[in-house]
Amino acid sequence: MNIVPDTSAVIDGRVSERVESGIYEGATITVPEAVVGELEWQANEGHDTGWEGIEELQRLVELAETGDISIDYYGERPSAGQKREADEGEIDAIVRDVASDLDATLLTSDVVQAEVSRAKGLDVEYVEPRGRDAEGLEIESFFDETTMSVHLRAGSKPKAKRGDIGDMHYQVIGDEVTTEAEMKEFAHDVKETARASPDGFIELDEPGMTIVQFRSYRIAIARPPFADGFEITAVRPIVKTELDDYEFADELKDRLLERQRGVLISGAPGAGKSTFAQAVAEFLSSHDNAVKTMEKPRDLQVGPDITQYTALGGDMAKTADSLLLVRPDYTIYDEVRKTDDFEVFADMRLAGVGMVGVVHATRAIDALQRLVGRVELGMIPQVVDTVIYIEAGRVETVYDVTTQVKVPEGLTAEDLARPVIQIADFETGKPAYEIYTFNRQVVTVPLDEDGEESETGVSRLARKEVEREIRSIARGHVEVELKGQNEAVVYVEEDDISYVIGKGGGRISDVEERLGLSIDVRTLDEKPGGGGSGSGDSGGETGGARPAQETVVTPEVTSRHVVIDVADSVDIGETVEVRADGDYLFTATVGRGGEIQVSRGSAIADELEDAIDHKKRITVVPA
C-alpha cells in the first residue's frame, strides 16, 4: 500500500493516527517534497500550522524506525511563487501529480482536494478535518464569575483582571510559573477549538499574532518576533445588560428611535463602553431597525439578528462602502480611534446611516474634541448629535450637540456672531461647552451653570488675542484690560502710542476689525493703580519674574502642523499659554497624546515658526 498525504492531512496528524491504529501497517508513506516545502514556509512565516506539520513528519520517522511503515520523499521542492500561491491550489496540484505518478492513494482532510482528485480519477481517502471536543477551552479554568481577562506569559505566573466594572484589580491567580510548553498547548487548544466549533473563528493570523474569537472569549496569542515572549490574553465581558438597566433609559430610547442619530459612547478603558453599546444594538434591533456592527476584532456579544462585519481587506473604508449598499438603519462602530476611523464614521453618518461609535476618552467633551480637525467644524453636529459618557458601568453624562449662529457666551458685539457648536446637558438642557472659531483658532469654552463663561474662557482668550495683535505692532511693554464684552483698553509705552494707532488710526482700526472689539490705546502711566514698563501683565510675567510651572519645549515642524509635545509636563485637556522669550503667542488645550498642534499657514503658526527660526525660547505655562 502506497499512501501520499497532502499538507492538510500532515498538519492534522491524520497519517500517524492511522498508522498507530493499524490501518496503514506495513504501508509506504510517500511525502511529496512540495508538502515539506509548504510546511517549512509556514513555519518560517511564524504560523503554528507549519510547526505542527513538521512535528507530524518527525513522528512518522519514529514510526518508520520501529518498522511499522516505510517513509519516502518524492518530487521537486516548490518554487517561492508556488508556496505563496498555495491557497490557490498550486501545492495541491503538485501533490495530485505525485499520487498519479506513483499510482498511490491520496490522503487528505481537504474536501476540495478530495473532490478534485476524484474528478481526475485518483484513488482518494478523505478524512474529516481533525475535530476535538469543543465544549470549552483549557484556559477557561482560569476564569471565575468576576474575571474579565486572563493574562498568561511564558516564564511568569498567571494573572487576571478581576472585580466589578469600574473596580478591576490586576492580580496573580496561580502559584506556578507557566512554561513555554504549556503556552504552546494552550495556543494549540484555542486554535483547534475555534476551527472545530461553529461558535469560533480565527479573526487574524499573522506572523507573531493570532486573534481568535470563541463564544464570548476574545483570545490574542502573541509570539516572537512580534512580541518579546510567548503571551496569551483572553478577554470576555463579565456582564450583559439591557438599555433599561441604565439611567436616562426612557429618554435615550425615545431619542434613538426618533430618527437616525450620530452617537459617541465614551469612557475610560474598562468603564463598560462596549457593554453599553451591545445594549444599544440589541434595543435598536428589537425595534424594527436593521443593525450591523463594524469591529476589528469582532467581539461584541450581540444577538443572531445583528451581523458583525470586520475590516474588509484590512480596511474599514471598504467595509463602509459595502455597508452603504446594505443600507442598515444603524451601525455600531467599535472602536473609533484613528483619523481614518473618524472619517469613515463621518462619511457613513452624512450618508444617512445612524451611527453609534465607541471612543476612548477620559471626559465626555474629549470624545467630541477628537472630531475637531478631522471633520469640518460646522459639520460636527450633523455627524454627532449625542455624546454618552460611561463611568463604572453607568451612564454618567449625556450631552446634546447642536449648532447655532450666535454671539459666543461672554461676547456681545453683533459682528462677533458666528456658527457656534453648543454642547448642552441632556437632562437639564443647560449649555456646558461651546466650540467655535476665534481669530482663526478653534476654541472649546467651558460654561458654568448659568451659561456664562468660566474664568479661563473666552474673555481671557480675547484679552490674550488682543495682546498678541498689539505685541506684533508695539516695540515695548503691552498690557490689556477688557471693558465690558466688546471693548478693550490697551496700555503701551508712550513712544509706541502713535505707532500702534497708525496714521489716521488706520493700524488700530485694522486690529479692531479683525478682533471685533473696540480698542482704546493709552500709555502705561495712565493705567489705574500705577503702570510703567515694570508692572502689570507682560505675557504672563510680573516684574521680570518667571512664572511658576513654566516648561521649556522644542516644537517640531511637520508638513502640515507645528507640534508641541508636553506629555511629560502638562495633563491632557489642560489649557496652557505658549510663549516665545516670555511674550505671549496663543492659548491652546492639550490634546490626547499630550500634544498641541497648530495648522501651518495660520497666523499663529507663522508667529511660532518665526520664533523658532529666531531661536527664541519657547515655553508653555498653565493658563
Q: Which three cell numbers stand for residue 406?
A: 450666535
Domain 458-526 annotated CATH 2.60.40.10:
no
Give the pairing type, strands 291-295 and 330-334: parallel
Whole-model pTM: value is 0.59
- Of the ranges 65-79, 313-327, 379-393, 530-544, which one carries the lowest mean pLDDT score? 530-544
Q: Is the pLDDT of residue 132 over 50?
A: no
- Of the ranges 28-42, 474-488, 604-618, which one carries the lowest mean pLDDT score? 474-488
Mean pLDDT of 357-368: 91
Query: So what's the pLDDT on residue 541?
Result: 38
Q: Is the pLDDT of residue 537 over 50?
A: no
Superfamily of domain 243-446: P-loop containing nucleotide triphosphate hydrolases (3.40.50.300)
Mean pLDDT of 350-355: 95
Q: Which three cell numbers stand for residue 328?
A: 442598515
May I ask the CATH architecture of the domain 2-126?
3-Layer(aba) Sandwich (3.40)
Q: Is the pLDDT of residue 194 over 90?
A: no
Residues 311-352 have pLDDT tens digits of 998 899 999 999 999 899 999 999 898 889 999 999 999 999
- CB proximity list for 208: less than 8 A, separation 6 or greater: 46, 222, 223, 224, 225, 226, 227
- CB proximity list for 168: less than 8 A, separation 6 or greater: 148, 161, 162, 270
Q: Is the pLDDT of residue 306 over 80?
A: yes
Q: Is the pLDDT of residue 414 over 70?
A: no
Residue 51 DSSP symbol: H
pLDDT band at 369, cuts 50/70/90? confident
Query: So what's the pLDDT on residue 545?
Result: 37
Is 2-126's fold the same as 243-446's? Answer: yes
Cα(539)–Cα(454) distance, integer angstroms: 20
Higher pLDDT, 134 or 354: 354
Q: CATH number for the 138-235 domain, one of 1.10.10, 1.10.3470, 3.30.450, 2.60.120?
A: 3.30.450
Residues 210-252 have pLDDT tens digits of 999 888 888 999 988 889 999 999 998 777 788 999 988 999 9
Where along the chain do its domains lie? 2-126, 138-235, 243-446, 458-526, 551-622
Helix (H, G, I), strand (E, B) or coil at 10: helix
- Of the ranges 260-269, 318-327, 444-453, 497-506, which one carries the lowest mean pLDDT score? 444-453
